[in-house]
Structure formats: structure tokens, C-alpha cells
Structure 1
């Protein structure tokens, strides 16, 4: 083995021990590129480190998106802005800045089915992941079931500590299924943990005067509504159904 090959092998060994996967796999090609383009030692080293950094950032982003447990990927860029309810059109620019996360404010997307509530929520969640925030997505029925299971196994406290550390929690489908007394109390307690500190996005098909149908307790309902709406962004999502529009367009295309 010549001196050059021996040195490359040694670089790869060090890179492996230091978990520098990109440098380990790309070092030889990077040296050839540097020689072909007459790069200085500084430019060569900077380029190699940048490759390592970029792939690590990409992997961390993909990990955050995976851990967030989105049911599918939806991006804000895919929204047809002109088809959104007018209130959403006016407030989407601010929401997409993610300033509400920095300020620990909540967002409530309230309106009839099919108007883009979940799409906006997931889109904001994915953008938050891309910008380094820790995000969790779940539906309210699934969240309540999980909380009950954790309570029964006496592991709820650990989950609550974990829940408080998420920069953004998205609770989808609030109001689609009524909760029993235990479920309502668990939901109330665990949403309250974040109130005024970290951001929560809630999508709901119920107006505030119907939230009592979920909690079944007027005092709990009033308290929860007050905590969630304090300094929050309430978006009126009542409007024409996105899905109905897409279905109509699909059927029209079939006729043509």
C-alpha cells in the first residue's frame, strides 16, 4: 500500500471512530475533486466539513419529522390560498413565520369539515421541524386513549415531563368524539401543563359554545377555553369544503 492510500485509510479509520460518516465515504472523491479544481487546503477542508454538516442537519430534520408522527406529509406551499376561508388567508402569513411558537402562543383552527384545518396544522408542524423545533402530532381521541393507558401503568408523570418539552403539540380532531369523565379530565390536565408556556395547535369542528359537549363539565369547559384562547390565534375555518371541491374537479375530469 502506498503512502497516499495508507493516509486515506487512516483518515477513514479516524472518521469512523468519530462517527463522521460523510468524510469516511467521500474523502477520496473529495481529494480528487480538490486536486482537479486546484482547491487550497482550507477550501478542501471547509467543503468536506460542510458536506458532513449538511447531511447531519438533513438527518436531524428527518428524525424530527418522523418523531412528530404526522399521519402524512402536507406542506404550506401546497395550499391553494384562494380556496381557504378568508380569516385563514389573512392570518396564514403570520402563522407561517412561526413567531407564535417563539412566543408560546396557541392556534385554534375552528370550522366545518374539509376546509384545510389539518393541512394547515401539519404544514406548520413540518415547517417547525425544518426550523429545528420539536413537534408532536396526535388526534384528540388517540391522545386520550394514550393518556388512559399511561395512567393505568403509572407512567403518566414521565410522559407529562416529556410533553412539556415539545415546542409545538398539534391536537387534531378535537370534538369529533365525546370523551368520558376520566378522558376529559386527563385531556384538561395535560393541555393545561402547556398553557402559557409552549404552543399548542388545535383543530376542531366545534364552536366554543359547544366545547361543553367534550368536557361535560361547565367549570372545566370554561377554564379550558380561557386557558387555550388567552393570547391565542383563533382562525375561523368555516367555508367551502376543500375535499368537496377536489372531488367535483375529479368527477369533471372523468366526464371529459
Structure 2
């Protein structure tokens, strides 16, 4: 059958719908260029950021019917160290200084909710070149962006769920990120995933990270200033909220002092 004959049999509504579907599958060249710059920045961060320390202030809460049920505050020294392994992965750890205003004294850290990965995985999981095939990205016009910034959304692709790079992406993942348009550095990223608790399938978990430029060893890196993670409250499950603030960044490096040796001939001689 000739194409002209087939088109003649299609209704105008079908033609418009089919044409729109074809257009939706075509990548936006401008967006692809922006994503390439973001991905390059992400790869540079992963490969060049040095090990560092910073102060961490955590507030972890359990909430019921909108009222605070339990809260834990933590002061800690947060460390991000580059692994000696060949892949040089970034490893997160913290040294707890105090819990609820009291010296930790080696006590086990027990919080209503905890979160990790804001430094080592927040960008790499959603905005790295090897995860590009896992998501559909779009410009976000739903809310006005601040001057000099631009917002985008991402949604996990069902068709890519079985791809090796995408197996760790939860189905139903959605998110948003904001970039500084001049540098293509991410200033904010957030993601929401299904987060069932027991038999309660209605719970969803959201995590977000805000970034700002920090100078380490004479170089500028965009590092987290605030990390927030929370779950929704349902008739079966309380809500939980984790907020961490980071400040006083400085490079983590061991130092040593070499002292000059003293020759035996310079020693006082016995009389």
C-alpha cells in the first residue's frame, strides 16, 4: 500500500496525534547541548575533587499529623575521601561530635531517618553520561526560575529499565534540577521515588541537594550546602524528615614534618 493511500484513510485527529508523537521522540538539540555540558561537569567533579572535610549539622525528625513526634540533632565532622581503588570512588563518612547537644562519647547514632549519597551520588546517578539513556529530560516551565538559572525535569524511562546502566534506577523515579546557565553547574537537584514501608505502598521518598561553589586547594568545586530527604505521611505511616547543613569546607590531607638530622661529629665530646 502506498503511503498516500494510507494517509488518506487516517483521520485529521490521528494525523495530528501521530505527528506529535514523532516530534516527542526527537531530541531537542539545545537541551542535548546543555545536558552534555552538565555531564562533563559531573565527570570532572567525580575525577578531580580532592578528599575534604566539612562541618555537618543534622536535624532528623519523625512527624505525625503534622506535629513533631521525635527529633534528633547531630553535630559531626563529615568526610568525603577518594578511595584508593582503581575507580577512585568517593566514600562518605562522619565523625559524630554531639547528639542532642551532648557529647556523643562513642554512642551509636540512632536517628528517625538518615540519608547518604548527597556528595558521591546525587549528580552521578541522574546527570552523568552513562545514565543519559535512563531518563527523559525536559525543560521545566512550571515555575519561574531565578535570574541566571534554568530548570529541567527528568523521568525514568520504562523502556530502559533493563539496560545495564539503568538497573539501579527505581521505576517511577521523577526529578527536577536547576542549573546556573553561565557555567552549566547544578545549583539544585531533587528526586522522588516510590518508597514503600512494609505493606504501605503509598509512601514516597524525596531527596534534594543544594550546591554552591567552594574553593579547595585553589580550585572551585560546586559542593552541597544543604541536603534534605523526607517521606510522605499516610494513614498507616508517619512522615520522616532529614535536613543536613554543610559549612567550613577544607581539604583533607595528611601532613608531615621532616627534621634535619644531627651529625655525630656535631655532638659534644666527652672530656
TM-score normalised by L of structure 2: 0.27
| Structure whose residues are more often helix by fraction | 1
Greater strand proportion: 2
